[in-house]
Amino acid sequence: MLKYIMKRILMLLPVLIGVSFIVFFIVNLAPGDPARIIAGVETDEETVERIREDLGFNKTVVERYGIYMWKALQGDLGTSYYSNKTVIEAFMERIPNTLLLGFWSVVFGLIISMPVGIISAIKQYSIFDNLGMVLALTGISIPSFWLGILAILLFSLKLQLLPSGGNEFWYSVILPSITNGTQMMALMTRMTRSSMLEVIRQDYIMTARAKGLDEKTVVLKHALRNALIPVVTTAGNFLIMMIGSAVVTETIFSWPGVGRLIVESISKRDLNMVVGCVILITFIISIINLVIDLIYVLIDPKIRSSYGIMKG
Amino acid sequence: MNFKNAENRSQVYETWRRLKKSRTAVIGLILIFILVTVAIIAPLLYDYNNDIIKQNIKERMQKPSLAHPFGTDEFGRDILGRIIYGARISLIIGVTSCLLCGSIGIILGVVAAYYGGMIENVIMRFSDILMAIPSILLAIVIVAAFGVNLFNIIIAVGVATIPQYIRITRASVLTVINQEYIEAAHSIGAKTPRILFRHILTNCFAPIMVQATLRIATVIAEAASLSFLGLGVPAPTPEWGAMLAGGRAYMREYPHLVLFPGLAIAFTILSLNLIGDGLRDALDPKLKK
Amino acid sequence: MHRSNSEIILDMKNLVVDYETDDGIVHAVNGMNIKLNRKQSLGIVGETGAGKTTTALSILRLIPDPPGVIKNGEIFLEGEDILLYPEAKMRKLRGSYVSMIFQDPMTSLNPVLTVGEQISEVIRVHRKADSEDVIRKAKEMLEVVGIKSDRYNDFPYQFSGGMKQRIVIAMALACYPKLLIADEPTTALDVTIQAQILEVMKDLKEKFDTSLILITHDLGVVAEICDIVSVVYAGSIIEHGTLRDIFKSTKHPYTEGLFNSLPNINARAEFLKPIPGSMPDPTQVYTGCAFYERCKYAVDKCNAVKPPKIWLNDTHYVVCHKYDDIELTQKEVENNGM
């Protein structure tokens, strides 16, 4: 098992380096003089030159990337151009909020998608199934920023039940996580359903029925675990999608997470912060993905054995 | 060769026949047809300079009426007209980025599958890297760095879809490549590029079409998110996401400001998803009766 | 479970099963009759699509519904019509009174559960026993079919096809069923493994006093293990008798065709003689004999009138117009039980 984890971490490194490379170059190859932008139009050329030197903009991009990565390996992703906070400090301050939002979005997504997906598959073509699939399709088609706005309009402005933004109260997280989790919920519902449909046609389900097991055991014990394998495999993609939509959700609900930090930094052209945050968030996603893969290994014995974690 | 052609034609025909049988796909096709038609004839319905971008403070924030079926916005512009012109922007972004990035992805996918080895490795790692970054973040970074204009937006929202095309194409090429008729084509001396594009791509057509339809939907949604965040096509160009963002401040009293642009986005994505679903079902051999 | 200690284990009368699909109604089983005594083993022989598996599944009442519907008939297990049972009562029979072995051992075991658990499960459902007893019993069953009990915690993919089929057999016999239905149990296996599996089944059938229904298209397998044979065509029996009846005095042209299509080392016929044509469209309803189009003895009557069931002796009957005349001389027509 340890070997497997090590192998996965080793596979992660080139991806992370690649991500940092791509993001760094996109930002640094952009037209326009970053020093001039930071300094403002009014500042004289001398000050701009000083800023340029301070921030290293007078060196070539490749040199700067080398220096950046060298420092990054030592845990230094630089400092914000505007505040005195280091990128890592600012990121660490915000990331718990993003993870909290992500966690509740997943919880919301799972609570709805699992039962709806399973029941829809078992009662294929029933009213429940049709209704569930229409809802899922709607969920996929509604962009999260519109859903968020509608939620605020209804629950905050009209009904005044829930706060429209911020994170002061424990229930502040409700609207953002529903907004953020809906699309994933809808996709998961459809996946669970189609995966279940596939599995219940398998011979071993007939075998289980022929043993005299009741339908509940057949579905929950024999079918579901097999059906979850493809769903868990793609969970990583859902996660990436959801962290992405968190950028928008956090902005709508003034949720102080990393997504909002990135959007704020972009409007200030605080490029160090943007590059740092994107790299760090990708890093965190990769770690969570690794954990998901380990869960996958736990439910699929075939994979488990190929990494020597079987007991007998 | 002729036999092969006939088979391809009949495959497309068969797909079309089953697509027509799928109620969801037909609804989706009709909706998209309406949307495209309206977007094309937009100049006949509204005058861009006078109705769409000119501010008319006297008529601001009117509720829906006969003169303005969807009401007017915070600058007194007709919302229906702006939504119709907005459809043009969204469709242009969706289709162009799909054509552009789709072609890049398909070519890379075919190359990866056909040549294998080092080339394949490099292409696949590149696609892994792109997939590791949340697509909206990638788009934000690109637009923020290179500036906000239509072309940059098309690239920004499209880049994240490239890996999807690479993977789908590579997977389908790999399943096709070892089949006997490809070997047969080799043995009668067909040249490599000819084999690639004539045989392999016609057989990978189906999964790529499904992918493209669904990707247009996500790209349109993403472009709308960008302009919602203030990184979209600059004002006063009518764009759905920007209209939503603009109307947000007044939505308590004037909910129609956020209702209709959002509906337009959802409507477009829904239609594309319906077509994509119908197409997938029509092409899925497992569902063949 | 208290049941009359009758000699007849299974009595299926005039079973009719349809699959109602979008493309029309498929008549899978058209008036099937099976009578099976204790310890007896019956071979049901026929081509793919003859309705053999559907017949078997209806005994367990596991026909996928929709689209499958039992239209008519009665299935008596030791004197009780199970088609009238509520589902819960039916469940108690499955796996304990009647067990079934499916065609492909590769797919009939659940890939994510240990084989031990899959055997234990059936014991746990049907027998009152604490978990230790259950596990001990399951390990015992593994040994019975020739697998070391220390492989209890292994997963299906760790076994070969033949081993998997042994596990399936262990699972099916774990509750000592009175009736075991084996649907092409050896078709998916290598020839050498086939013989082993048949041997295991034969032994255990004796050991556990189980009646057996063996579904196959392979007459060799039937000769190996069965006492009586039903030959099935287009959803109903066209010839039935003891092993000797069918093999030594083959009557129906279809059965004859089945034998002729077998490679025969002794006769060394120049070529195998396959039966021309293929199974008829199952959505069709016949006024006459379903085999008409492929039969070399066919006369006009065969297409127009359904052939009667003609008893040739106490155990042997054939459903064919070719023997209409014999009926006059060797008259022993059974009027009931059609």
Q: Are C108 and A204 in contact (CB under 8 A)?
A: yes
What are the two backbone dihedrals, phi and then psi, of residue C311, each rounded to the nearest 5 degrees? -85, 130
Q: Do A206 and C62 touch (CB under 8 A)?
A: yes
Helices A87-122 and A224-233 meet at what angle, rounded to 10? 140
Contacts of A214 in chain C (CB under 8 A): 91
Comparison of pLDDT for C198 and A179, the residue scoring more: A179
pLDDT at B165 (0 to 100): 92
Q: Rounded to whole angstroms, how far apart are CA atoms A179 and B225?
A: 14
Supply the DSSP symbol for A79. B
pLDDT at B195 (0 to 100): 67
**A111 by DSSP, 3-state: which?**
helix
User: What string of H, E and C letters represents the secondary structure of B3-46?
Assistant: HHHHHHHHHHHHHHHHHHHCHHHHHHHHHHHHHHHHHHCHHHHC
pLDDT in tens, A89-100: 999 999 999 999
In a domain, B114, yes or no: yes
Q: Do C112 and A301 touch (CB under 8 A)?
A: yes
- HSE-up of C217 (CA within 13 Å, CB side)? 13
**C184 by DSSP, 3-state: which?**
coil
Q: Rounded to whole angstroms, how far apart are CA atoms C194 and B2?
A: 46
Q: Are C230 and C203 in contact (CB under 8 A)?
A: no
Nearest to A284 by CA among A153, A131, A88: A88
Query: Can you tell me the ipTM of this complex?
Result: 0.84
**C218 by DSSP, 3-state: which?**
coil
- Chains B and C: how many Cβ contacts under 8 Å? 3
**Residue of chain B whose Cα is closest to the Cα of C22:** B289
Q: Which residues of A59-72 are buried (b: 16+ CB within 10 A; e: fewer)?
A: eeeeebbeebeeeb
Q: Rounded to whole angstroms, how far apart are CA atoms A6 and A259?
A: 30
Beta-carbon neighbour count of residue B62 at 10 Å?
18
Beta-carbon neighbour count of residue A74 at 10 Å?
8
pLDDT at C266 (0 to 100): 62
Q: Is the pLDDT of residue C338 over 50?
A: no
Structural domain for B120, as ranges: 79-277
Contacts of B289 in chain C (CB under 8 A): 21-23
Q: Are B19 and B282 in contact (CB under 8 A)?
A: yes
Highest mean pLDDT pick, A188-197, C24-33, C140-149, C253-262:
A188-197
Confidence class of residue B217 from pLDDT cuts 50, 70 and 90? very high
Nearest to B75 by CA among B214, B249, B226, B264: B249
pLDDT at C147 (0 to 100): 87
What are the two backbone dihedrals, phi and then psi, of residue C183, each rounded to the nearest 5 degrees? -95, 105
Q: Are A272 and A77 in contact (CB under 8 A)?
A: yes
**Residue of chain C whose Cα is closest to the Cα of A203:** C108
Q: Rounded to whole angstroms, how far apart are CA atoms B138 and B132?
A: 10
Contacts of C21 in chain A (CB under 8 A): none
pLDDT at B11 (0 to 100): 64
What does the pLDDT average to over B232-239? 84
Q: Does B223 touch chain A (CB under 8 A)?
A: no
pLDDT in tens, A226-251: 888 888 877 777 878 888 888 999 99
Contacts of A197 in chain C (CB under 8 A): none
In a domain, B216, yes or no: yes
What does the pLDDT average to over B8-18? 67
pLDDT in tens, C76-131: 887 788 888 888 888 888 888 899 988 888 888 998 889 999 999 999 988 888 88
pLDDT at B17 (0 to 100): 76
Residues 6 or more apart whose CB falls under 8 angstroms from that of A96 comprise none
pLDDT at C330 (0 to 100): 47
Mean pLDDT of chain A: 84
Calculate the alpha carbon distances from B113 to B120, B164, B166, B202, B204 in Å. 7, 14, 9, 15, 12
H helices within chain C, ranges in order?
A: 52-59, 87-93, 105-108, 115-126, 131-144, 161-173, 191-208, 219-225, 243-248, 253-260, 300-304, 324-329
pLDDT in tens, C185-196: 887 778 788 888
Contacts of C22 in chain B (CB under 8 A): 289
pLDDT at A38 (0 to 100): 67
What does the pLDDT average to over C228-233? 89
pLDDT at C189 (0 to 100): 77
- The CATH number for B160's domain is 1.10.3720.10
Enumerate the β-bridge partners of residue C27.
C18
Among the partner-chain residues A210, A211, A312, the one whose CB lies closest to the CB of C154 is A312
**Domains of chain A, each with CATH number or no CATH:** 94-267 (1.10.3720.10)
What does the pLDDT average to over C126-152? 87
- Hey, what long-range contacts does C252-257 have (CB within 8 A, 24 or more apart)? C252/C318, C252/C319, C252/C320, C253/C291, C253/C295, C253/C296, C253/C297, C253/C320, C253/C322, C254/C291, C254/C294, C254/C295, C255/C231, C257/C294
Residues 6 or more apart whose CB falls under 8 angstroms from that of C138 comprise C116, C119, C120, C123, C152, C170, C174
Residues 6 or more apart whose CB falls under 8 angstroms from that of A90 comprise A80, A83, A261, A273, A277
pLDDT at A307 (0 to 100): 52
The helix (H) or strand (E) run that includes residue C230 is: strand C228-233
Q: Do A226 and C110 touch (CB under 8 A)?
A: yes
B89's torsion region: left (phi>0), alpha (psi -120 to 50) or beta? alpha
What does the pLDDT average to over A256-285? 88
C298's torsion region: left (phi>0), alpha (psi -120 to 50) or beta? beta
Highest mean pLDDT pick, A64-78, A291-305, B153-167, B248-262:
B153-167
Mean pLDDT of chain B: 83
In a domain, B30, yes or no: no
Q: Are C179 and C4 in contact (CB under 8 A)?
A: no
Q: Which amino acid is located at B269 in the chain?
A: I
Comparison of pLDDT for A216 and C262, the residue scoring more: A216
Q: Which amino acid is located at B285 in the chain?
A: P
Q: Rounded to whole angstroms, how far apart are CA atoms C179 and C187?
A: 21
pLDDT at A311 (0 to 100): 37
Comparison of pLDDT for B179 and B40, the residue scoring more: B40
Calculate the alpha carbon distances from A138 to A152, A190, C315 in Å. 19, 12, 65
Q: How many residues does chain C have?
A: 338
**C109 by DSSP, 3-state: which?**
coil
Model confidence, pTM: 0.81
What are the two backbone dihedrals, phi and then psi, of residue A31, each rounded to the nearest 5 degrees? -65, 160
Supply the DSSP symbol for A86. B
Chain A nearest-CA distance from C54, in A, is 13
**Residue of chain B whose Cα is closest to the Cα of C21:** B289
The helix (H) or strand (E) run that includes residue C150 is: none
Share of chain A above pLDDT 90, in %: 28
* Tokens coding C207: 């050991």
pLDDT at B92 (0 to 100): 93
Distance of CA A237 to the CA centre of its chain: 8
Q: Which of residues 217-246 of A touch C (CB under 8 A)?
A: 221-222, 225-226, 229
Residues 6 or more apart whose CB falls under 8 angstroms from that of C199 comprise none
In a domain, B38, yes or no: no
pLDDT in tens, B65-116: 877 888 888 887 888 989 999 999 999 999 999 999 999 999 999 889 888 8
Chain B nearest-CA distance from C21, in A, is 9
**C20 by DSSP, 3-state: which?**
strand
Q: Do C155 and A301 touch (CB under 8 A)?
A: yes
In a domain, B192, yes or no: yes
Q: Are B233 and B239 in contact (CB under 8 A)?
A: yes
In a domain, B127, yes or no: yes
What does the pLDDT average to over A4-28? 84
- Look at chain B and report how many structural domains it folds into: 1
Q: Is the pLDDT of residue A186 over 90?
A: yes
In a domain, B10, yes or no: no
Q: Do A302 and C104 touch (CB under 8 A)?
A: no
Mean pLDDT of chain C: 82
In a domain, B259, yes or no: yes
